[in-house]
Amino acid sequence: MNLERERQLIGRMGQRLPEARDLRDFYAHGEVVSRLAVLVAQELGMSEEFCREIEIAGMLHDIGKLELSDVIYGNSRDILAVERSKYVRMHPALGIDVLRKEGVYSEEVISFIANHHENFDGTGYPYHLEGEDIPYGARILRVCDVFAALVSNRRYRAAFSVDTAIEMMIDDVREYDMKVFLAFLKVVYSEEFGEVRKLIERALQQDAEDAAKETAK
Ligand SMILES: [Fe+2]
């Protein structure tokens, strides 16, 4: 399936990002979430239409963050950490406005994105929804998003291995829809996961190349 339109939207909005690397990470994270979410949806027996919607939502789930590029990605010392996290918490809702303006995205896609930080036990944000009040697609995105973040490098820590990431997620399993989580585990240990693993490894490889260039400077 094709995500050209979504890539263009990210490219357009990502122009304000301070570093080219941030944009690359944004694509890479979206790709992993999108691919993995489709596999989980297929494992759950969802329709083709649903799978297409979750594929798009996976790619664009953090689009609201690009509206806040300066505060989220910038290094401004004027912004306190607590303030920054308040802004970060706005990004799922900001995604709604961005996608409505585009005029081509279904309300399903928009609702998956708006709710991708809600937790099954009600501890998520921004609406503090619980259980089945959270759209199904958002429950799938939640699991895939957390996993994709754990297996990638962050500014403040190195990537965790797939096995460690899963152990960490099991510790917080109350945050996930158990049916979705079990389908996700099945996918991770399936042959199809190979394509997701390749995307994860490619991103780590690029980070390593960047680090090597930095030290060579
Ligand atoms: Fe997010």
CA–centroid distance, 103 to ligand 1, in Å, is 21
CA–centroid distance, 116 to ligand 1, in Å, is 7
Give the C-alpha separation, 81 to 65, whole Å. Answer: 16
CA–centroid distance, 203 to ligand 1, in Å, is 18
| CATH code for the part of the protein at 4-216 | 1.10.3210.10
pLDDT at 75: 63
Share of the chain above pLDDT 90, in %: 80
The mean pLDDT of 70-91, rounded to a whole number, is 77
Cβ burial of 27 (10 Å; 0-12, 13-18, 19+) is: middle
83-111: per-residue pLDDT in tens? 878 888 999 999 999 999 999 999 999 99
pLDDT at 2 over 80: yes
136-193: per-residue pLDDT in tens? 999 999 999 999 999 999 988 999 999 999 999 999 999 999 999 999 999 999 999 9
pLDDT at 80: 75
Contact assessment for residue 47 and residue 101, using Cβ atoms and an 8 Å cutoff: no
Give the single-character DSSP code of 133: G
Domain boundaries, the chain: 4-216
CA–centroid distance, 199 to ligand 1, in Å, is 19
Nearest partner of 58 among 89, 37, 41, 88, judged by Cα: 37
CA–centroid distance, 149 to ligand 1, in Å, is 10
CA–centroid distance, 58 to ligand 1, in Å, is 10
pLDDT at 76 over 70: no
CA–centroid distance, 217 to ligand 1, in Å, is 33
CA–centroid distance, 64 to ligand 1, in Å, is 8
The mean pLDDT of 6-12, rounded to a whole number, is 96
131-146: per-residue pLDDT in tens? 999 999 999 999 999 9
Contact assessment for residue 112 and residue 59, using Cβ atoms and an 8 Å cutoff: no
CA–centroid distance, 62 to ligand 1, in Å, is 5
pLDDT at 157: 93
Which tokens belong to 156? 């403040």
More confident residue, 59 or 73: 59
CA–centroid distance, 195 to ligand 1, in Å, is 22
CA–centroid distance, 61 to ligand 1, in Å, is 6
pLDDT at 77: 60
The rounded Cα 197 to chain-centroid distance in angstroms is: 15
Contact assessment for residue 143 and residue 176, using Cβ atoms and an 8 Å cutoff: yes
CA–centroid distance, 152 to ligand 1, in Å, is 14
CA–centroid distance, 146 to ligand 1, in Å, is 9
CA–centroid distance, 93 to ligand 1, in Å, is 10
User: How long, in residues, is the chain?
Assistant: 217
